[in-house]
Structure 1
Amino acid sequence: MNAFQPARPWCRSPLSMAVAASLACAAAVPALAQDVGALAAGDASTLDTVVVTANKRVENVRDVGASISVVGERELENLGASSLSDYAALIPGLQVQNAGSPGLTSVSLRGISALSSGATVATYIDEVPVGSSGIYQGAGALMLDLLPYDISRVEVLRGPQGTLYGAGAIGGLLKYVTHAPDAAGREFRVGLGGRAVQDGGHDWNGRFGASLPLHDDRLGLRVSAARNGLPGYTDNAVDGRRDVNTGEQTGARAALSWDGDTVDVGLSVLQQRVRSDDRASVALDPQTRAPLAGELSGRSWQRQPFDKKLTLASLSLAWDLGWGDFVSATGWSNTKTMDRIDTTVQFGEVADQLLGLPEPGSSFTRYDFDLDKLTQEFRLTSASGGRFEWMVGVFYTKEDAEQSQFAWLGQRDGSPLPAGGEAYSTLARIALPSTYEELALFANGSWRIGERFKLDAGIRQARNEQWFSQNVSAGILAPIGDAPGESSEDVFTWSLSPQFKLADDVLLYLRAATGYQPGGPNVALAGMPPSVDSSMLSSYEAGLKSQFAERRVQLDLAAFRIDWEDIQVASSFNGIGGLVNGGEAKSEGVELAALFRATDRLLLGLNAAYTRASVKNDFEPTVIPQDGFDVILNTGLGGDRMPYVPKLSWSATAEYAFATAGGLDGQVGAALRWTGDRVNDTTERQRLTAPGDPSTVLGEALTPPLELDSYRALDLYAGIGRDRWSLRAYVNNVTGEDGWSSIAPIDGALTGARGHLAAVPIQPRTFGIEFDYRF
């Protein structure tokens, strides 16, 4: 997050008594990609056609030579999904790390993990990118976790998408597609539900939606609002609070659309907010991994609230020119995020170690992020269906952002420091304003050669210019003063995809593509470069999309290899941190997605991904001069596994649709998901050497990553309804399996002593019931 980042060890080896701020550490188509109502009808004998807009055209996903997963509205509702973690298992190669609340989320695809503060997966809502492209807004750990109400589908593109989607889509793309207004039909929908966590809390949710024709079947309005309660289920052993991680998600949207003879116009305003009173966390013994104070109990001396609010306004225009289309997509968004964490273990020892107080103190660190983002895209596209289809476009974005940090120290009971220690109560007050501006030109072409062969190709040339300043106004953790920096870079990306139709329902494709993660100006710290370059990635993929047995069976395979260069990694020593271009990594694997309509009413599915992602060589060392010796720091070693990437993950699904004699339609279903073992980080190595002589090693310390065990979970759901109403019930994690979504060591900043491990559990057994009525 380009901040203190206490989740990563502050001082893995206590080589000095300095305390400072970490300023810059901070296959295929899936199963269950079915349209709404496919099974409820109960008479479908073949698998459904799924439409996507991944290539910025409306296409059948079966005809796209790329790995695209689609999760529809119906699947989201059946599972009671309220965040990415709830449906990530349905998407091969997607991993979601939850840091204790929706919105405290890190996402990786195909083993491309976020090793720095920048995101590796881009996020779009319809035509508009959201989230920061820069490195000072914590985009890698604060991915948009949209409450999926009034969402038609979620599209996930695996592999780099640099030519069409640009910065940040180095690992892939997460795209939320909202419901469009219907200018010809009228619909109202209301819903109410509740959920409860076993041995935890309970809460309610409600929703409303309406689609209204306004003028002559040309002008349509759609409005919606939703509230989802988040029951708490973890306790705090320090103050005895129970179910501390309660919260809520709220959202509202209004959209207008004009359906003209040649010009269509859409206007949308969306607001989403997630608020958590505290974060889910369990304190574990560093040696035995046993809970220190109870099965679902954490240790924090300060409350840890989280709040994120997104406001998005978008304007789209599509002009049918007869021979092609001109499209304009304009977006403006403001994202405000507040994240406060307990840093008592990290900084509390300042009170006794430096101030001489009889016991360690208590501390919190608060991060505030404020991002204004303006985007504009123009593109000209040929008509679909010809032998040669093309697209040319220009994209512009401007971000004005600020990150602020405040670290406070008091006595262990929360009271202010005693007389004489007031100067240490503000450990740091830091502002990091930044700007990011980018202009890109892109072009795509598709050639059909004969009836079976097609060749897709794309290029993109982008230039970004960035500025930031490191402004420290108070505290002992960093030198007081301002240190501005700036950078600029040109980036070229390309893609090439030959495709061959072996039969009407069998597509064989190859895809080579590149992507990039923007660099930027670096913090002003000894041993750190003034700026970091973009991370570049090359991907090679072979895929097969097939349907057979009279379109009752769908079997898709994809094999890939990814080479990642100039990886941006966080490098920190004694809490002082920056970014460096560390080295190289590779990821290779196979993905499978299968659907089998066993009968007209029974649908079976299987998703699986096998991924081997590892660091190729030792990351570039950072040389940090000290008094009488140098510290040579590597934050990753050759052979390390990429963080939070299991070698094997899979999910199996089944759904049976039925109809009663009384005219009711319903379904029952299950999803069994399994995630293999993972590691939370790469290896860190610190070497003490003679000044200016790296060959003379005075000492060495290795800190390996923490391991997370595999886990499995079973979800069940059922629903019944008729015409206007529906009733659904679900139980997630039916057997109450234990498992960790993420884990981090909590170490003292001065002594390096490990207090405990903070682990975020997967959602315990959760019950829910939902009722919807349409009229």
Structure 2
Amino acid sequence: MASNAVLADQFPSEQSSAIGGVDSNEIVVTATRSGAQSIQNVPISVTALNPEALQRQGNDALSDISRAVPGLFIQEQGGGQNKIVMRGINATSGINQTDTAENALVSVYLDDVPISIQGSTPDIRVYDLERVEFLRGPQGTLFGAGAMAGTVRYITRKPGLSSFEGSAEGSLATTRGGDNSYSVRGMINVPLVTDQLGLRVTAYRGKDGGYIDNVVGADNFNDLDMTQVRSIVRYQNQSNFTADLSYLYGNVDSSARSFAYDGLEEYEFQANNPSGLKDRFHIFNFAPQLEIGSITLFSSTSYISRKYTFFDSQEFFSAGLLGLDTPEAAALTVNDITDFTQEFRVTTDQSRPLRVQLGAFYERQTRHYDQSNVWPGLDSAFGIDSLDFFAEAPDQIFRSDTNTKTKQLAFFGEVAYSPVPALDLTAGLRYFDWSQHYTLLTAGLAGVDASGQPLTLAGDSKANGFNPRAAASYHVTDDVMIYAEAARGFRYGGINQVVPLDFCGPALAAQGLAAAPIDFGPDKLWSYTIGEKAQFLDRKVTLNVAAFLANWNDVQTRRNLDSCGYNFTENSGRIRSKGLEIESRVQPTDNLSLTASGSYTDAKTRDINPNIAPFAGARVPYFPKYIMSIGAEYEIPLKGTNLILQGDYTYRSSTGTRFNPADLGYRTIPASNVFNAAITLEADSFSVSLFAKNLTDEYVIQGIYNNAYPAIQPGDTLTVGRPRTVGLRVKKQF
């Protein structure tokens, strides 16, 4: 859970050097992909977090650091299984790992590599990063279809070419009622050829101790082990050419996710079978850049290979659906993904009145999704042989095999013009052409048609169109800017899993449907933002405010068939989200920083739609109306060292789990109040921190999945945050 004090680092702070002509007392971002700019001069709503300040508090994951970001909410299940929501642009209830149809609304980038997968973006640990950028609002012109609500960017540190350096860091923490956690990490930077060729390697190894007790198994059984290794080789000639070759390896192994049942004691779950996950990924990237006069040519070639596996215990599902006494009932889900992307960009001199950026983007992705549900005792209970229903093993009630091949080609450009130095006008456009070929097969008793044959489907989906953007900014003074922006966001459509009529016919009929739709169309969004970025009193006071209105049409929503375990995606109605985002910092003295941020988001349906809610004005699920964070950082100079005191408080208001409060499955996620603190003793090359997260030991509920079988299952399924955790971090630089 991030200290809001880290938000101070998006405002003026001490930086080691200037970048691209930007004053060294400013934090810089590359949010517009046209070079480094002061965050106060970028005419979009953006937050940049400093990893160094985050690490003092023992924060490693995106879910930790993002709590202080206004207009952002992350649904978590542990192990990097999260769904990122910005500005209330959300229409589905929680995370469904068996849903291959839902596409991301927020894009996530590692430098210039897109890594987003809805519900399961790789968990990049916060170490040896320049910063993490959060861009709110549609970024589709520069970042593509997955950026309809916003973009998150991890910006890595690049190799230094002139000097050898390194660091080693370790942390140990204890969680109230849970296991201990630890992490070790290191970085080494080696100039292989002085001023021309360098290598930078970082490594992370850690364990997040479990804190959920399995009442029929082990205590603290949701522990997580993670390994990550990142290497970057940089070549730079003496004048105008730079090339980076990078590789990231990640491996996650979790015994269970962060589930608890509300019918048991706090932090208790019941599972007779594994309910964890495994995730392994490889990310390669080659990024050369050439400067020719006033023109900069940039290329990014990337390849991702990823395989992640989920295990689910299904003893209550099998008992509730078919009345089986099968404690060993379980499901196994495997996603195997490869993704190749190529992007080219041409940028003109950004110091001139007329500035141009042109680019092209290509992506080819293959995805194999396999699901297997085995319920021991099924065959004997019903006097059947599952193999007769084309299962691959006895007692396999369901299996699915889904293959998709996706391609997209896009061309984009932005033109910025400054008729006078204080005024900037920007217009951008992206053309995209997207296609997907898919094959689906389901089998087993719950996956065949009325004649007992496997359900199969093959087909193609296509979409093309334009995403425009326009923006204007005006500097009233050197330290006060006002801006306005209009942008269109777009998300592709897709295909649904086949819903068998003989198995789910009654559930479909109960909702007035003869069959489930085979596919669904794209949805789109227009967003309008006005804002100001201002600094006063010799830049000791900073106040950034943005107001937005977003109209979302043909919204992709998920319909759940709870009684048979299936779901499908459809286009249903319109949603309007409007709100306000505020970030501020006050520095009364050189040693004291006070920060505050917050957002108000009012996201509701605009139609009477029985698929969502029988009235207009239903609030979107899983997004708090109010998010607020305040923090303080105080530095005490001592002889040869500095003592840094940090503290913060984050509030999130309650939110619903579905649109319609009258739905039997509607639940309210309670408001949360989280306090964090850290004390750091910092010398030239050594630091030690004592940190505490969730200081008041709040029982933080992050998600609720309603209980479809209350007579059998001990309550709703909750995803819950970590109890109070206290730890020690030591870092040595050399």
Q: Do they superpose with TM above 0.5?
A: yes
Q: Is 1:457 paired with 2:434?
A: no
User: Which residue number corresponds to residue 401 of structure 1?
Assistant: 367
Contact kept in structure 2, 1:227 and 1:251, CA below 8 Å: yes
Q: What is the CA distance between 1:683 and its match in structure 2? A: 2.9
Q: What is the CA distance between 1:392 and its match in structure 2? A: 0.8
In structure 2, how many angstroms separate the alpha carbons of the residues matched to 1:494 and 1:214? Answer: 45
In structure 2, how many angstroms separate the alpha carbons of the residues matched to 1:606 and 1:120? Answer: 27
In structure 2, how many angstroms separate the alpha carbons of the residues matched to 1:31 and 1:457? Answer: 30
In structure 2, how many angstroms separate the alpha carbons of the residues matched to 1:351 and 1:515? Answer: 43
C-alpha spacing 1:635/1:150, structure 2 compared with 1 (3 Å): farther
Unaligned runs of 5+ in 1: 1-28, 132-138, 285-291, 622-632, 686-701
User: Which residue number corresponds to residue 734 of structure 1?
Assistant: 695
Q: Is 1:502 paired with 2:476?
A: yes
In structure 2, how many angstroms separate the alpha carbons of the residues matched to 1:752 and 1:735? Answer: 34
Q: Is 1:655 paired with 2:616?
A: no
C-alpha spacing 1:147/1:166, structure 2 compared with 1 (3 Å): same
Counterpart of 2:722 (choices 760, 763, 769) is 763
Contact kept in structure 2, 1:570 and 1:635, CA below 8 Å: no
- Equivalent positions of 1:716-755 (< 5 A) are 716-748=677-709
Q: Is 1:773 paired with 2:732?
A: yes
Q: What is the CA distance between 1:610 and its match in structure 2? A: 0.6
User: Which residue number corresponds to residue 146 of structure 1?
Assistant: 124
- Equivalent positions of 1:580-599 (< 5 A) are 580-599=570-589
Q: What is the CA distance between 1:125 and its match in structure 2? A: 0.3
Contact kept in structure 2, 1:345 and 1:747, CA below 8 Å: no
C-alpha spacing 1:203/1:634, structure 2 compared with 1 (3 Å): closer
C-alpha spacing 1:350/1:421, structure 2 compared with 1 (3 Å): farther
Contact kept in structure 1, 2:412 and 2:429, CA below 8 Å: yes
Contact kept in structure 2, 1:636 and 1:682, CA below 8 Å: no
Q: Which amino acid letter does the alignment assign opposite residue 492 of structure 1?
A: F
In structure 1, how many angstroms separate the alpha carbons of the residues matched to 2:698 and 2:455? Answer: 51
C-alpha spacing 1:485/1:703, structure 2 compared with 1 (3 Å): farther
Q: Which amino acid letter does the alignment assign opposite residue 9 of structure 2?
A: A
In structure 2, how many angstroms separate the alpha carbons of the residues matched to 1:478 and 1:247? Answer: 37
C-alpha spacing 1:295/1:539, structure 2 compared with 1 (3 Å): same
In structure 2, how many angstroms separate the alpha carbons of the residues matched to 1:330 and 1:478? Answer: 42
Q: Deviations over 1:168-210 (max 9, x none)?
A: 1011001111110111121011112211101111032111110
C-alpha spacing 1:394/1:30, structure 2 compared with 1 (3 Å): farther
Contact kept in structure 2, 1:664 and 1:721, CA below 8 Å: yes
Q: What is the CA distance between 1:129 and its match in structure 2? A: 0.6
User: Which residue number corresponds to residue 577 of structure 1?
Assistant: 567
- Equivalent positions of 1:654-733 (< 5 A) are 654-661=632-639, 663-683=640-660, 702-703=663-664, 705-733=666-694
Q: What is the CA distance between 1:681 and its match in structure 2? A: 2.1
Counterpart of 1:484 (choices 458, 467, 478) is 458
C-alpha spacing 1:93/1:48, structure 2 compared with 1 (3 Å): farther
In structure 1, how many angstroms separate the alpha carbons of the residues matched to 2:462 and 2:437? Answer: 9
Q: Which amino acid letter does the alignment assign opposite residue 712 of structure 1?
A: N
Q: Which amino acid letter does the alignment assign opposite residue 339 of structure 2?
A: K
Contact kept in structure 1, 2:79 and 2:257, CA below 8 Å: no
Residue range with higher mean Cα deviation, 441-450 or 573-582: 573-582
Contact kept in structure 1, 2:646 and 2:679, CA below 8 Å: yes
User: Which residue number corresponds to residue 343 of structure 1?
Assistant: 314
Counterpart of 1:608 (choices 594, 598, 610) is 598
Contact kept in structure 2, 1:106 and 1:114, CA below 8 Å: no
Q: Deviations over 1:207-235 (max 9, x none)?
A: 11101111131111101111121011110
Counterpart of 1:428 (choices 379, 398, 409) is 398
Q: Which amino acid letter does the alignment assign opposite residue 162 of structure 1?
A: G
Q: Which amino acid letter does the alignment assign opposite residue 723 of structure 2?
A: P
Q: Deviations over 1:58-95 (max 9, x none)?
A: 11111110011111111220221122221222110110
Contact kept in structure 1, 2:13 and 2:27, CA below 8 Å: no
Residue range with higher mean Cα deviation, 465-474 or 387-396: 465-474
Q: Is 1:212 paired with 2:187?
A: no
How many pairs align?
Answer: 689
User: Which residue number corresponds to residue 97 of structure 1?
Assistant: 75
**SS at 2:55's partner residue?**
helix
Contact kept in structure 2, 1:34 and 1:48, CA below 8 Å: no
TM-score normalized by the length of structure 2: 0.90
User: Which residue number corresponds to residue 114 of structure 2?
Assistant: 129
Q: Deviations over 1:617-669 (max 9, x none)?
A: 244x6xxxxxxxxxxx55785322111111111000100012212x1123010
Counterpart of 2:485 (choices 497, 511, 519) is 511
User: Which residue number corresponds to residue 18 of structure 1?
Assistant: none
Contact kept in structure 1, 2:142 and 2:430, CA below 8 Å: yes
Q: Is 1:174 paired with 2:152?
A: yes
Q: What is the CA distance between 1:584 and its match in structure 2? A: 0.7
Q: What is the CA distance between 1:405 and its match in structure 2? A: 0.4
C-alpha spacing 1:493/1:341, structure 2 compared with 1 (3 Å): same
User: Which residue number corresponds to residue 102 of structure 2?
Assistant: 117
C-alpha spacing 1:603/1:362, structure 2 compared with 1 (3 Å): same
User: Which residue number corresponds to residue 641 of structure 1?
Assistant: 619
Q: What is the CA distance between 1:37 and its match in structure 2? A: 8.3
- Equivalent positions of 1:531-570 (< 5 A) are 531-570=519-558
Contact kept in structure 2, 1:47 and 1:551, CA below 8 Å: no
User: Which residue number corresponds to residue 185 of structure 1?
Assistant: 163
In structure 2, how many angstroms separate the alpha carbons of the residues matched to 1:80 and 1:636? Answer: 46
Q: What is the CA distance between 1:490 and its match in structure 2? A: 0.6
**SS at 1:79's partner residue?**
coil
User: Which residue number corresponds to residue 285 of structure 2?
Assistant: 314
Q: What is the CA distance between 1:554 and its match in structure 2? A: 0.3
Contact kept in structure 1, 2:12 and 2:25, CA below 8 Å: no
Counterpart of 2:294 (choices 299, 311, 323) is 323
User: Which residue number corresponds to residue 625 of structure 1?
Assistant: none
Counterpart of 1:472 (choices 427, 442, 448) is 442
Q: Which amino acid letter does the alignment assign opposite residue 106 of structure 1?
A: K
Q: Which amino acid letter does the alignment assign opposite residue 668 of structure 2?
A: E
In structure 1, how many angstroms separate the alpha carbons of the residues matched to 2:495 and 2:264? Answer: 43
Q: Deviations over 1:653-705 (max 9, x none)?
A: 100012212x11230100111110111122399xxxxxxxxxxxxxxxx4352
C-alpha spacing 1:538/1:256, structure 2 compared with 1 (3 Å): same
Q: Which amino acid letter does the alignment assign opposite residue 7 of structure 2?
A: A
Q: Which amino acid letter does the alignment assign opposite residue 596 of structure 1?
A: V
Cα RMSD (Å): 2.5
In structure 2, how many angstroms separate the alpha carbons of the residues matched to 1:579 and 1:705? Answer: 19
Q: Deviations over 1:360-385 (max 9, x none)?
A: 65422221111100000011110120
- Equivalent positions of 1:361-400 (< 5 A) are 362-400=328-366
Q: Which amino acid letter does the alignment assign opposite residue 313 of structure 1?
A: F
TM-score normalized by the length of structure 1: 0.85
In structure 2, how many angstroms separate the alpha carbons of the residues matched to 1:180 and 1:200? Answer: 37
In structure 2, how many angstroms separate the alpha carbons of the residues matched to 1:186 and 1:653? Answer: 36
In structure 1, how many angstroms separate the alpha carbons of the residues matched to 2:204 and 2:6? Answer: 28
**SS at 2:702's partner residue?**
strand
Q: Is 1:298 paired with 2:275?
A: no
User: Which residue number corresponds to residue 255 of structure 1?
Assistant: 232
Unaligned runs of 5+ in 2: 18-22, 93-100, 387-393, 500-513
In structure 2, how many angstroms separate the alpha carbons of the residues matched to 1:575 and 1:205? Answer: 39
Residue range with higher mean Cα deviation, 269-278 or 635-644: 635-644
Q: What is the CA distance between 1:396 and its match in structure 2? A: 0.3
Q: Deviations over 1:577-632 (max 9, x none)?
A: 3221111101101111000111110000001001111121244x6xxxxxxxxxxx
Contact kept in structure 1, 2:436 and 2:461, CA below 8 Å: yes
Identity over aligned pairs, percent: 25
User: Which residue number corresponds to residue 276 of structure 1?
Assistant: 254
User: Which residue number corresponds to residue 32 of structure 1?
Assistant: 8
**SS at 2:40's partner residue?**
helix
Q: Which amino acid letter does the alignment assign opposite residue 73 of structure 2?
A: Q
